[in-house]
Amino acid sequence: MDFKDLVMQRYAARAYTGERIPEEKIEALLELVRWAPSGLNLQPWRIKVVEDAPTKGALMEAAFGQPQVGACSHLLVLCADSDLAGRIGELEQLMRQAGSPEKERRRVIALARDMVSRMAPAQALAFAQQQVFLALAHALLGARALGFDGCPMTGFDGARVAARLGLPPRLVPTAMCPLGFGTDRPALRVRFPREELCL
Ligand SMILES: Cc1cc2nc3c(=O)[nH]c(=O)nc-3n(C[C@H](O)[C@H](O)[C@H](O)COP(=O)(O)O)c2cc1C
């Protein structure tokens, strides 16, 4: 599908057919998410894929009863990994294993260590969360490209979500993305005019 068609066809789907998304399509989507860009290439995200009804029900409560969380086929809970120093260590190992040129690896890792050393913990979390939204964008457009739909969501109580999923403190639920075959495509989507976009 042409990228413009993809962008125009994507919408925030909050009602679904009830049909289960095949596992290989979820795998294909996660692969698209994995290739999202991120600052310093730290990829400071982890995703919980929730499919079972009791957990979706509990997370729907944590999302103030928003029905798409309970009704979806699969729910992605996108978490920010706030341990950037740990992530740098992991990236260094990854680059080593992947055979990245040593000079490039040293440059990237030194830059990352320098930048992260200047961040207070709250800034590190904010940085990680910014990257999560790029992963979310890949999930939303990727879902449409693969023939199903998603809904971007930040309307939830992150602490309740973390508790229900038993997440370690370094992982902070930042966005959710219920997935399914949407049945509520709006007749009209609105955006501010093009003339307002650029200053
Ligand atoms: C970061 C973000 C958070 C959002 N949170 C919610 C949410 O909690 N619940 C919801 O129903 N929609 C949520 N939305 C969906 C928006 O309402 C929707 O994207 C917007 O109205 C534009 O509609 P469209 O996506 O169909 O073009 C969110 C969207 C974004 C980008």
- Whether residue 53 lies inside any domain: the answer is yes
Domain span holding position 41: 3-83+120-180
- d(CA 183, ligand 1 centre) in Å: 16
Whole-number Å distance between alpha carbons of 161 and 59:
6
- CATH number of the domain within which 175 lies: 3.40.109.10
pTM of the model: 0.97
- d(CA 13, ligand 1 centre) in Å: 9
- Whether residue 187 lies inside any domain: the answer is no
Neighbour tally for 128: CB within 10 Å: 27
- d(CA 112, ligand 1 centre) in Å: 32
Whole-number Å distance between alpha carbons of 141 and 149:
8
* Alpha-carbon distance values, 31 to 106, 137, 182 (Å): 27, 13, 21
Task: Provide CB contacts within 8 A for 71, sequence distance 6+.
Answer: 15, 16, 18, 178, 180
Hey, what are 135's tokens?
């992963």
- Whether residue 167 lies inside any domain: the answer is yes
| Pocket (CB within 6 angstroms of ligand 1) | 11-12, 14, 66, 151-155, 189
Choose the residue to mutate in 153, 156, 179 for probing ligand 1, maximizing ligand atoms within 8 Å of C-beta: 153
Asked whether the predicted pLDDT for residue 194 surpasses 90, the reply is: yes
- Whether residue 70 lies inside any domain: the answer is yes
- d(CA 68, ligand 1 centre) in Å: 12
- Whether residue 98 lies inside any domain: the answer is no
- Whether residue 76 lies inside any domain: the answer is yes
Whole-number Å distance between alpha carbons of 125 and 150:
25
- Whether residue 193 lies inside any domain: the answer is no
Number of domains composing the chain: 1
pLDDT at 144: 98
Whole-number Å distance between alpha carbons of 50 and 40:
29
Summarised one tens digit per residue, pLDDT across range 113-152 is 999 999 999 999 999 999 999 999 999 999 999 999 999 9
Nearest-CA residue for ligand 1 atom 22 is 12
Nearest-CA residue for ligand 1 atom 30 is 152
Any idea what the Cα angle at residue 46 is, between residues 44 and 137, rounded to 5°? Answer: 80
